[in-house]
Structures are given as C-alpha cells and as structure tokens.
Structure 1
Amino acid sequence: MTLIDLGELRGDAEPEPPARPPRAVGRPLRVALAGALALLTLAASAAVVRPPSTVLPGRVGAVEVAVTPDRVYVAEREGPESGGREVAAYATPTRAGEPLRLLWRVSLPGAGGLFGLAERDGVVFVNVDLDTDHPQTILVDAKTGGRLSRHPGSGAPTVGGGLLLLGNSTLGAPGLQLVDLASGRVRWSLPQSLVTFNYHRRGELVDRVVVTSDLLPGADRDGRIEVRDVVSGAVLAARDLKGRERPTYRQVNLAGELLLVTEGEPGGGAVVTAYGLAALDRRWERRLAEFGQAEQCGALLCVSAPRRGEVSALDPATGRTRWSNPRWPWFLVARGDRLLVGAVDQRPTGGGFAVLDAATGRQLGELGRWQLTFARDPDAPLFGVRRTREGDLLVAELDLARAEARVLDVLPDATGECVVAGRSAVCRRVGGAFGWWRLRR
C-alpha cells in the first residue's frame, strides 16, 4: 500500500471545468469555487493507490461478476466451443493478503451469460439467457452449489418465500408465475399476452403485482388494470380504462402507494392520473409539459424533464408542483430527505451530480462528474468512479447526507465495469481479468 506523495499528485483526478452557479439564488460563485478546490485537495490527499487485494480466478474476459458483502460470483464461458456458462462462488477474505476461497462451481446453460443473481433463504437464483427470447431462472443451493430446479422466465424474490418469474408468453411460457423458492412448485400463473407487469415491493421483496393491458399502440384490449396479491395471485383491486380515449402512448408505474398512469406522446406533453394502489380509486390528474415518469423521491414525486432542463417535485396527495430546480434535468436516487440529481455528460468521466433537499429542491452540494457503480440493493451506499490523469480509477462514496463525494481509493490498472456491495468492490482490469478490493471506510 503506497500513500500518495502530495508533491507528485499521483492520485489527482482530471481537472473539472468551473461549476456553473445556480441561475436564481445560492451561494456566491467564490464560495462554490472554494468548495470545488477543497474537494480536489481532499481527493489528492486522502486517496490511497492500492493494487487489487486479489485477482479473481478464472479465464481472462469473464462474462460477468456479481457481488454480495461476503461473496463474489464469477460467470464465464465453459470453453470456446461451449454455449454454456460456469458460475463459481468465492468467499471474500476476512484479512488483507488472503485470496478468495472457492466455495463451489456449477455448470449452467445460457448463450447470453449471467444477467441477474441474488441470494435468499439459502437459495441462489441465477437469471440466464438461453437465447435472446428465452430467459431462464435456475435455483442453486447456496451452500453446495447443487442445482435445485429450473424455470422459464426472469425471477424476483417475493414475500412468503416465493420467486416471481416473468416469461415470454408469446413463445409459450407463462406471462407470470410464482414459484415456491424452497420446493420449486408453481403456486399460480397468468397466461396472458400483451400485458405489462409492475412490481410493488416491501423492502427488497415483491408483495403485489400490477397487471395492465392496452399498453401497446393498436392493441385490441379492454384497458383493464389489476392489483394482485403476490402470494396467492388473487385480485385485490381492478379498474377498467375502456371508457377513456385511447392515447398514443400509455405508461404505468408505481410510486409508493400510488399507481400512476401517464398518457400522451413521447417527446410531447402528457397527462398523469394518480390512483390509490389499495382500491384503484382516482386521486388526481395533472398535465405535464413534457412526457416523463413521476417517481417516488422521499415523501414527494419527482419528474425528470431533460428537454426543459429541470427536475420538479409533485405533492403525492394533490399532484401540485411543490418545487422545481432549473439546473438539473434528471432525478436519480432518493435517500431519506436527500436527492441525487444529475445532468447528461458524454465524457468518459461521466455525468455531473448534485444533492438537493427533498422538501425544497434547494441545492446542498455539487459532487462533480462520476460514473455510478452498479448495486442490486436499492438502499446500499452509492459509489462513483472516474479516471485519474495516470489512467487509474478513483473511487468515492457519494454521501448524500453530507452532500459530498468522499474519496476512498485509487485503483491502479482498473478500467471500470465496477460492482460494489458493502465494502467489496470488483472492477475490470487492463487485460480483461477482474480484481477484487476491500474498500476502506
């Protein structure tokens, strides 16, 4: 482990252009520039250049990796002539210098590779592509790697120990089915085609499903919306939109305990109608100047408007605008009373990010340009990466509570494709292999 020599600025990030001040109110420009300078000084002084704690075993150019706080899963091709995949599970080291310990290895079918993996109640479910139209979910014993069962469709864990599988019903698979995670038995299924499914979650687990028809232009459907219990498949509430004029485009999404139906034309204006999820009772209707999806952001609903260059927040009880921020067009993530917002940026360093107060939309801090790392846990800490002058990878935790980017490490020879869970980070290295790091706190 080598500390950065401040005279050489080995871990110094690429210089950023001066931050544009808010258009209306805010701190003076000299304060913003001083804050940006302090952040760059912190990045240079706090970052530690560290080689990988270990290089992941396996062939160079592994298809994909998945990370949990104490495990790393590596998926790779079984061989040049094989269409299958091999998934290996490794325990992460508890002390520095130790290698990853192989737990098990299993062969799985799949031409498209591993595209989803999660662990629940001692069962690992792996989503694979047999081809572009046939997703499959394979259940594997987390302790031994033994294959338990295999089902058509891509899966998501549910309350009550189930696995909800979404398949391609036009190719003969059930549109939706619930499988018991322990036994592999199918509890219920829906054979419908030309429908869309939205999942309502309790924490990380699905507890209700919204089934919507008449979403496709010209589809000869009755416009019915159903809310179903995920354990039994029973219909809890239903509503028929047949009496409404058929829109050019209709989009349904969930935001907390609201079901939002957005109708209009992409690229133009839209009308959002809110229904209570419990009984599908109509709550309010609101016209938007730009077609966009309203998403839950703390106690409010956030609407991104990239063409107009702003993000706004709506009152979920009335649909009225509570605030608008004219600088940042994209809402990304909510953490308590803080929002992460961003602007599109095509440079390799990624897009610019800022933290807003969820109640007022006031900017609390600007984080600079980062590329967000992938994380499956929606409540996990946020991490960003960007390249340094030397070509290494700077890693920072995007701390929304403090409205700052806290630099953790500089990873030499890392090129990106980073996945983070807890403090375990896996990134692609120069040459194609993956490296594993234990990020410092």
Structure 2
Amino acid sequence: MKTKAIFLASVLLVGCQTSKLGTQLPIQHAQSLSSASVENEARKYIDSNQEKLGRLTKGKDSLSQPNLWHFVSSELKMKFQDNSLIREQKIKYLKNKSDLHHVIARANPYMYLIVSEIQRRSMPMELILVPIVESAFDPSATSGAGAAGLWQFVPSTGLHYGLKQNRWYDGRLDIVASTKAALDLMENLNRRFDGDWLLTLAAYNSGAGRVNKAISANRRQGKSTNFWELSLPRETSIYVPKMLALSHIIKNHKQHNFKLPNTDKRHGLARVDIGRQMKLSRVAEMSGLSLAQLKFYNAGYKLDVTAPNGPHYIVLPEDNARHFKNSLAEAKFMVPQPARLVKNNPNAESVLQYKVRQGDTLSTIAKRFNIDPYDLQNWNNLTTSDFLKVGQTLKTGSRQVGEDNIPNEFRVTARRPSIESQECTNST
C-alpha cells in the first residue's frame, strides 16, 4: 500500500483521566469490514521472540536503541505548513509539559509492540501517537459513549474488526488484538481516502460517512476538499491539529526544551502463547509479576482467568516473559499425566477414574480429588464449552499402586453445572 507520512499528535486525556491536557474521547466508526480473525492474525505479527524484538527493519537496530522515543522522533518525517490551529494546540501542550511527559512515559511498555507493527505495515510512524490522543495510553480507558481501550473502539466497530466481546474477554482492551484492529481500520480508511492521512485521521475520529458528506458538500460548492477546508464537527476539526502539534513537539523536542522519557527494552511487552485457559494468579506467580500489574497489561481478560475459548496468550514485560516461559516449560514437564491402566501389575502406574454423576462440575470433581480443574480438563480433552454427561468416565490422575485394589469409580453428589459454580465448562 502506498502511504504518506503525516505528523499526528495531541493529548486528550480521556475517560477516567483527570489531566489538564484534554477532556473528551474521540469516537471512530467502522466503514469497511475485515473478515480476518484477530486472534489468528495477531499471532503473525506480535511475537515474543527476542531476535524479532531486537530489530525492526534490516539495517536499523531501532528496538535495541537506548531510547525508542528518539527513534520515533526521527521517523516523524512529513513536512507541512504550520497554521494558527496547530500553533494554538502547541501552546496548550507546552503549558503542561509535566502532564505530557507523564503520558508519553506511560506509553513505554506498549511502544515495542506497536512500533514493530507500524513498521511491518510501512505505515506512518506518527500513528504511534494516536493512543496518546485517544486514551492517554491507558489500556483500560473508557468513555461515556462506550469507547474502550488504547485505541478507543466503540463496541460495533470492534466487532466489525474481529474484537471479541463477551463475559470473559473484551478484545478492545487487548493490546495485541486492538492494535491490529486499529491499524486495519486505518489502512482501510486510507485506501478509501486515496492515501490522504489527514482525512484518514478525521474519519477515524468521526466516521468515514461524515467526512465523505463534508467532501461532497464542498464539491457541490466548488470548494477545496482538503481537510482544512471541510466543515466537520468541532471535535474532529481540532483532532488533527492537536496530533500535528504533538508530533511537532516530539520531532523538535530539543527546540521546545521537552525531554523525551527513557525506554528500556526489558520492560517492553512481549507476547507469550499459553495454549489453554489459565488463572491469572498462576501466571503472575510463574512470571514474577504482581497480579495487579499482570491485570493492567492484560486488561482484555475481564475475570481472574483467561478466556476459555481464546485468545490463549499473555503479554508481559520481556524479562517476566522469559521467566514465565521457563516456568511453563518446567511445569509441563512436572505435571503428572494419566498413564495407561495396567491391571495386575503392582509396580504399574494406574489411572484413577471417576464416573460423572448428575450435578457434577469440573470444579467439584477437581476439589474432590485435590487436583487443578485445568489439568482435569486437559487430561480428558474437554473444551470449555462442553457440559459433563452423566455416566461419562473421566481420568482424575494417576498413582503408583502396591496392590490391585484401586477402584475404577469414585462417586460424589453435586449440583447441576451453572455459571456461578462452574469455572471452565461454559463460555459466552
């Protein structure tokens, strides 16, 4: 795709943010759809592989630089003529340097993932600044209009671009999935507006239909159809100037006596695929990260467990991701797997089995045998949408037996599965 670079920038601190830099969240509306699965496609572009994170492009060791923000600053390349609207926004930012610095510093963990994907797509580097305007780089930011996440997707737009939203998971709050969806949306809008990034950003903010309507009105009146001549809602008419102003400040940070925050690649987020549902407390323990920090970085998971039907990945700071992967490998090696039942062999490892009774759930059975519900699920090749059937035989572990007196069936009485009592047997 042929693209033009553009200076974007602005700070509208939104949702629950109380900064002096902004007030209201812009809301974008989907105008073109993508049928690709976010979960599957996300796997292709966000990888915790250290070598991939170490280099963005051939010949540019950008991600290993001491300060990634300096690299971003050098990539803000579009030339444009200053105007009063842009100057007005620059003045506002520079009056609140400490707030602006705080927001940019908060972006650091997400920078490596987003910058990598922007470069992979050959899109303008200025797009890294969009979440500053949209959410102040708060992954759990929400607006009164229902927009959510770093990129502030409204529910309908998120669904159009493959962002799952259910009782377990909200893809709009997932840094991996939402970044893919946001860049997909902007690529589609940019094609629609013939490569004009000013119109693309205006449409991201207010919807392509509204921008097209303004263009058509100008054409009927014989006026120019460039962004600066269009009659758009006030929020949109200052949205682009704010982004250009912020881009100018970061590009010319020395001139404005604005210190860019330091970045540390070890603290940049990396993705780790876990392949199944997992408790967040367990991930925190295995990664060395606090549960609060883990939930902050993985805001897409709405409960204390990952989504049963996916996505099956976690994002962690690079150092913690390395520790977590090592812990996963050790746990996989150590977890007992049900062995083949061998009768009349006192030295054999015998499978413990249980026949499901009415009212049983994975949780109650696991509690009965003092095992993890997730191990019980995996041992029996159960999906989280499966309900247990009366009479169904489950493997509940294995043990060494000294004599052939281990019963083949253990009976318990429990209630019928329900959402409240069943952790892993159903999803919406």
Length-normalised TM-score, structure 1:
0.21
Which structure ranks higher in relative contact order (CA pairs < 8 Å, sequence separation ≥ 6)? 2
Q: Which has the higher helix share?
A: 2
Q: Which has the higher strand share?
A: 1
